[in-house]
Structure 1
Amino acid sequence: MRSIPFSVFLLLLGTWLSGPARAQRWPADTLHAPAAALPGLYADPHLAAFGSTYYLYPTTDGIAGWGATSFTCWSSKDLVKWTNEGVILDLPRDLTWAARNAWAPAIATKGGKYYFYYSAAQSIGVAVADRPTGPFKDPLGKPLVAKSQFRGQMIDPMVLVDDDGSAYLYWGQGQCHAVKLNPDMVSFDPAAVIEFKPPGYNEGSFVFKRQGKYYLMWSEYDTRDPRYSVAYATAASPLGPFTKATKNPVLKGRGVVKGAGHHSVLQVPGTDQWVVAFHRFHIPDGNGYNRETCLAPLRFDAQGNILPVDVFEPVKPTKIKAAGKRR
């Protein structure tokens, strides 16, 4: 048998290592991610639970410049099968002050009403409804937070309703802002706004409370960057001061999953089971304008630190138990 020159051997070896043979040696989870929770292109998902039903409120994606003009709502009884409840707020139809750039919604409930907070035309609005599926109406006729009213971009709202019924609004790109809302849920004292910027903070703030501790989470890098990821800090009060955790980020892409971020967190009512909703670049050909919504389990260690999220672990079907007592 005639031997081949050593230089040819090296060339063949390099081809083998970089080709299909090497791909077969990769961990399987870097090649096959779970299916997206919602069909189509959706980003910035806010996950909530009201009664026995889960709801997702996303940004409609797939439009250059993030030019969406309306918001939809999706419902589920088990976190796995989702139903499109249709358009719940249409900017050109329902607003007088904005017609495009419908981004990053959030929802909260208080006193039997549902309050929908959203970004529109680089400002933050609020709409009110009697049901989580709307229809939502604009009670102000103007932004709740106007463009350029504070430092950074006035986008990405989130509201935490604390155990005592007090509600807190968080928002901002490039700068994080926080303020206690008035009891009407649609106004606040501008002089009471707190501005701060945790190390690495960019946008997409989200706050929740677990076992007496407040968690502030946010997205780092730009949503068009494959490194887009989520970090967090903790505090003893809803307005801080927040201290960034030493082990970050807790949510980031891996393998075919790119740009995992702009998330929300939900505690399954009556349990200490938690779920994170986030978006990633659409697989296989997505980018910062073509993203899809995903769900994954969120876990904590014994000290209350958030453990790294496995973006390849799908959520299991989980129904909300009746009359569950929240822990």
Structure 2
Amino acid sequence: MKQRFLAIVLVLVGFGSKGQTTVDSVVAPAAVLPGVFADPHIAAFGKKFYIYPTTDGTVGWKGTTFSCWSSNDLRKWKNEGVILDLPRDLTWAKERAWAPAIAKKNGKYYFYYSADVNIGVAVADRPEGPFKDPIGKPLIPKGTVKGQMIDPMVFIDDDGSAYLYFGQGNCNIVKLNDDMISCDLSKIISFKPQGYNEGAFVFKRQGKYYLMWSEYDTRDPRYSVAYATADSPTGPFVKAETNPVLKGSGAIKGAGHHSVVQVPGTDNWFIAYHRFKIPDGNGYNRETCISPMRFDNKGNILPVDVFEPVPAVKAKR
């Protein structure tokens, strides 16, 4: 309550004589990662949380490396360093390292990522890497289906089946083989939820499957997150009546391309996402944030308060 009161006071102090805010960034919680990072994939492994982001800061998103960040409490983050370097570690792509995701199966960590508008996969024994390319080529090559082959996300169901979600313009789903590094491209399911642009993310709660995605373009201040639900990981998905569930407000612009994490052993959930850097950010200079994410008693996702700071939370199992 004290923090919220202080934020309100700061807003009032920031108004000038003409009723305009002179310093509005003071009401926004600080980004959780220093510098410019976007498209964060957040996960919990063991007693730690991890974030795998896109390295931002170049026009055209020309980044060439992926990093990993770890935390014991969601608030203080340690840079674990570069876990995949495209020019060094790949033979088929050198730049445009975007929007990674990670999953654990068979005692291994599988890292999915966009590289030069293809989707690749890398494998490691630890969540901090280093990751190696096991197939020497894209898992999903550009041109496989309509739209861009970007923004992979992997969901592992209770029975161990793994599904890869990806795509810009359309949402695509394909079941991964048990080895997690191959799939049957002829069995891709493609569809377009109303408003869908990119950044699919899937999770399961109380028997219900949630498909979330980003609407508009990441350079658009209206960039935001919506969702749909289904009784199966492959749909059909029905868009919720109340959307978007994450959007910018005031000083916070372009809030989107998210992921969510469940605190192990609890029904506490958090959403990681990027926004335009404050101040002077844009679609090429974005920063990573975390907010609590809650549900009503019917399982609907409640609107996320982007001004609510993330509390200190332990990932103990």
- Normalised TM-score (structure 2): 0.93
Q: Which amino acid is 1:159 matched to?
A: V
Q: Is the 8 A contact 1:29 1:312 kept in 2?
A: no
Q: Is the 8 A contact 2:25 2:278 kept in 1?
A: no
- 1:192 CA drift (Å): 1.2
Matched, 1:22 2:39: no
Aligned to 1:189: 184
Provide, for residues 36-82 of structure 1, a one-character-per-residue CA deviation record: whole Å limited to 9, x for no partner.
00000000000000000000000000011000000000000000000
Q: Which amino acid is 2:19 matched to?
A: R
Aligned to 2:264: 269
Matched, 1:128 2:126: no
Aligned to 1:303: 298
Runs of 4+ with >3 A deviation: 18-21, 28-31
Matched, 1:97 2:92: yes
- 1:23 CA drift (Å): 3.7
Q: Could you say what secondary structure the match of 1:169 adopts?
A: strand
- 1:201 CA drift (Å): 0.2
Among 223, 234, 245, the alignment partner of 1:228 is 223
Separation (CA, whole Å) in 2 of partners of 1:23 and 1:301:
35
Separation (CA, whole Å) in 2 of partners of 1:292 and 1:209:
27
Q: Is the 8 A contact 1:30 1:254 kept in 2?
A: no
In structure 2, runs of 5+ residues without a counterpart are 1-14
Separation (CA, whole Å) in 1 of partners of 2:187 and 2:315:
37
Q: Which amino acid is 2:27 matched to?
A: H
Aligned residues: 303
The percentage of aligned residue pairs carrying the same residue is 72
Instruction: Check 1:299–1:97 CA distance in 2 against 1; reply closer, same or farther (3 A cut).
Output: same
Among 203, 206, 210, the alignment partner of 2:198 is 203
Separation (CA, whole Å) in 2 of partners of 1:320 and 1:56:
14
Alignment of 1:75-86 (within 5 A): 75-86=70-81
Alignment of 1:117-266 (within 5 A): 117-266=112-261
Q: Which amino acid is 2:38 matched to?
A: A
Q: Is the 8 A contact 1:263 1:278 kept in 2?
A: yes
Aligned to 2:308: 313
Q: Is the 8 A contact 2:25 2:279 kept in 1?
A: no
Give the superposed CA RMSD.
1.4
- 1:284 CA drift (Å): 1.1
In structure 1, runs of 5+ residues without a counterpart are 1-17, 323-327
Q: Could you say what secondary structure the match of 1:65 adopts?
A: coil
Q: Could you say what secondary structure the match of 2:57 adopts?
A: coil
Provide, for residues 285-326 of structure 1, a one-character-per-residue CA deviation record: whole Å limited to 9, x for no partner.
00000000000000000000000000000110001223xxxx
Q: Which amino acid is 1:287 matched to?
A: N
Separation (CA, whole Å) in 1 of partners of 2:19 and 2:57:
33
Q: Which amino acid is 1:250 matched to?
A: V
Q: Is the 8 A contact 1:280 1:294 kept in 2?
A: yes
Separation (CA, whole Å) in 1 of partners of 2:297 and 2:17:
42
Q: Could you say what secondary structure the match of 1:64 adopts?
A: coil
Instruction: Check 1:116–1:50 CA distance in 2 against 1; reply closer, same or farther (3 A cut).
Output: same
Separation (CA, whole Å) in 2 of partners of 1:20 and 1:222:
35
Among 100, 108, 114, the alignment partner of 2:109 is 114
Aligned to 2:51: 56
- Normalised TM-score (structure 1): 0.91
Q: Larger radius of gyration, structure 1 or 2?
A: 1
